Structure 1
Amino acid sequence: MSAATLDTTLPAGLEAKVERLDALLDSIAARHARVKLASSLAAEDMLLTHAILSRGVRIGIFSLNTGRLHAETLGMFDRVRERYGYEIEQWHPQAAAVDEYVRLHGLNAFYESVDLRRQCCEIRKVEPLNRALAGVSAWVTGQRREQSVTRTELHEEEHDAARDIVKFNPLADWNEAQVWAYLKAFAVPVNPLHARGYPSIGCEPCTRAIRPGEDSRAGRWWWENRDTKECGLHVASALPAQGTAH
């Protein structure tokens, strides 16, 4: 049953978008027996979590527990368990790699240069992501084109060249208002940090609330230039992959 058929009130025009999302997720699950949603536990990923778990779509869900997340973000694991009876799979960085980075550079060396920041992201996010995706044929993200200048060419379906698997971005053409209308309509649990001015949420030392007029990812790595603000999870996935068989 489509989420749009539930007893909810959706704004004009959003019902068709929700029905299309449900159909896309069903298609992804039908095409790929081994597929996972990578969830940051932020708004877009909670939307997808609800769309998957409320309808029993066969897409697994995991999250990268970097060791530097906000307490509010960690609390979302319990909220998902309580609401949906589902335990989100957690992937952690290799302790030895974290210890070596801290020994050589310091705990918060990522403020010193883009290179050191990317090294930290590689250890805490990219390497665990690679382990999480080992053996799957596709993964799903909550990325949207509207989020930042690095995502304006985002495709709904891409080839993840770094991992040679298919990558889906089902919310690519959704805007922020539509995301929040969905979350409100279905009473989806959301990270409390959103109400405090955090539209995009990552590790605690690398995320701040945004100021009026700033784009939604301005609070991520705010000390860097706009065109460097990716952690390495998505930068190798810009090729359309319609019709790719995996």
Structure 2
Amino acid sequence: MIRLVGVTKSYTVGDQVVPVLKGIHLEVQRGEFVAVMGPSGSGKSTLMHILGLLDRPSSGDYELNGASVLHLASNDLARLRNQNIGFVFQNFHLIPRMSAVRNVELPMVYAGVPRAKRRARAMELLEMVGMANRAHHLPNELSGGQRQRVAIARALANDPSILLADEPTGALDQQTGAEILRILRDLHAAGRTVMVITHDPHVARAGKRVLHMVDGEIVREEVPDEPR
């Protein structure tokens, strides 16, 4: 499903070139739950941006579902991203002036889904994450855990094959974070491909495979014990 070959990413700062990713080789099969773990500055968020088609690598190749995406135009990348990838971020990224249900509807607006159908789908997803009774509340009327549940529902709006979560529990207390991890595990158990970016070993162990990043490289891989 996902294949990176020799992917690098560098940024120019003044007259210096700063390497962030240094030749990443990675394969993720359909239906896997993979955690990418590393300290701040290790390149894991940059990797997620490339996997999510939010940024392009400086060199190397990226194949999604067997086809290289590097030479696609920006509009084509946006369409592919909208159809295939759902995002969950640490700080939720909900639109403050929109209710929970309208936030969940938003990706479907961009996809051209008719109003009645997208409202029904949004309510179904909010029900799935336990937020149907808060559908018409604004984000500032919700707790952090509730906002993250809405963000997960929004990420699933267009039924993406891949869910990318960047520090999904980073802004939450331990108990609420555990509830969010349970939802991600349930989505994986239902057949969804899930990738979690984290610096937290406890969160990483939710994955079936953990990739450890240091200084822009994947330095090792482990398979955690099943949680008790």
* TM-based fold match above 0.5: no
- Structure ranking higher in helix proportion: 1
- Structure ranking higher in strand proportion: 2
TM-score band by shorter chain is 0.3 to 0.5
